[in-house]
Amino acid sequence: MKLGIRNLAVSVFLGVVWGWGAMTLNSFTYAFPYEAGFLHNFITFSIGGAVFGVVVGGFIRLFGGLFPFKGRIPRAVAISVLLWALLLAGGFALSGMRPDRYHLITYQTIQGLMLSVVLGIFFGIFLSFDGK
Amino acid sequence: MERILEKDQILRALLPAVFVAFMAFSLIVIAYGLDTVAHGVHDTFHDFRHVIGMPCH
């Protein structure tokens, strides 16, 4: 299973587009009122999206063929949501240790879950991996 | 000659995995805003972290 420069580029591109999509979606849902300006967020959402995209894309390429169900989109969505859920689980742990600093907000969590599903769909459509 | 080729193959297989691992670590730093690891990352990615549903202050 090769990760490859092309797949890396696709992952970065999809991640950046997803980051912009997340920024746009939040502008409509208002789950979190932005504290920084547009330009700052444009850059940070692009970088954050790219990092998220590379990680999800890499995991999909490495483990996309291991799931017991068929179809590229379901497999990509499963990996994307699992990674997001793992991060969230870590967030729960942090919240337990430092409740004064870290707390979960339901609207944002639901929005994050939706975004991870969307990212999985993106990758299922556009990234080539073993997911017959 | 064969050993050189083997080394090259190992590097080719290993580098992407190391890169993804590095990016995964970066993602954790960004998602939790770990200022102790990268100074300023908490404030820089504050809005991004909230939008993707990660816990924050």
Give the pLDDT band of residue B18 (cuts 50, 70, 90).
Answer: confident
Quote the Cα angle for A93-A97-A98, to 5°: 115
- The answer to whether A18 touches A122, Cβ cutoff 8 Å, is yes
- The answer to whether A2 touches A114, Cβ cutoff 8 Å, is no
Q: To the nearest whole percent, how much of chain A has pLDDT over 90?
A: 63
Our CA-based measurement puts residue B1 at a distance from the nearest CA of chain A, in whole angstroms, of 23
CB contacts, 8 Å: A113 with chain B: 53
Please answer yes or no on whether B55 and A26 come within 8 Å at the CB atom: no
For residue A22, give the chain B residue with the closest CA.
Answer: B51
Q: Give A2-50 pLDDT, tens digit per residue.
A: 567 888 899 999 999 999 999 999 999 999 899 999 999 999 999 999 9
Q: Count the neighbouring beta carbons within 10 Å of the beta carbon of residue A125.
A: 11
pLDDT score at B16: 77
Facing B47 at nearest CB: one of A36, A84, A103: A36
Q: Is B33 on the interface with A (CB under 8 A)?
A: no
Distance CA B34, CA B7 (A): 36
Instruction: Kindly indicate whether the ipTM for this predicted assembly is greater than 0.85, answering yes or no.
Output: yes
Residues in chain A: 132
DSSP code per residue over B3-31: HHHHHHHHHHHHHHHHHHHHHHHHHHHHH
Distances (CA, A) of B34 to A123, B44, B56: 28, 11, 11
Our CA-based measurement puts residue B21 at a distance from the nearest CA of chain A, in whole angstroms, of 8
